[in-house]
Amino acid sequence: MSAAHKGALVFVYGSLMHPQVVQTLLGRQPDEKSATLTGYSRHPLKECVYPGITKVDEKEGGSSDGSNSSSRVVGKVLSVDMERELPIFDAFEDDEYKRETLDVELDDGSLVSAFVYVWTVKEALVFQEKWEMDEEFEKVHLEKYLQMCEEFVKNGYRFDD
């Protein structure tokens, strides 16, 4: 990346882990590394094919709703252009997510600071279930999801209301 472009690290843990989704949104496949976010749990969202994460309440031993959930989220760190590509992710993640800067652990054990989109509408999370990027997403949901991503790009990085 040239000196004129500032890079940013983004931790992704849901549909953005799929290379075709990122390729559709950014028009390229950024460098990526496997990573883990500690202190958060990932859950499906009601009536959605993508997840949200929420901070685990350490005092309760589980998620902020009191459930006993794993406090580690496995995902990827993507290297993106801060000026051109980060705003695309901001628009894609919409208002229900809040972008925070958190430390994530790479597979080699090193910690890096990355942007993470944290879900803000806890009532929409299905805490009793875990969300995993699996074959079902690819076989059942990917084609329609990619069409939605293509429309998002065609609409100037906006969703139709």
Q: Which residues are catalytic?
A: 93
Structure tokens given for 93: 């993640």
Between helix 86-93 and helix 19-26 the angle, nearest 10°, is: 110
Integer Cα distance of 133 and 51 in angstroms:
10
Q: Map tokens 């942007």 to a residue.
A: 115
- The HSE-up count of residue 11 (CA atoms within 13 Å, CB side) is 29
Integer Cα distance of 66 and 135 in angstroms:
30
Integer Cα distance of 158 and 139 in angstroms:
26
Of the candidates 15, 39, 7, which has an alpha carbon nearest to the alpha carbon of residue 131? 15
Looking at residue 26, the DSSP 8-state letter turns out to be H
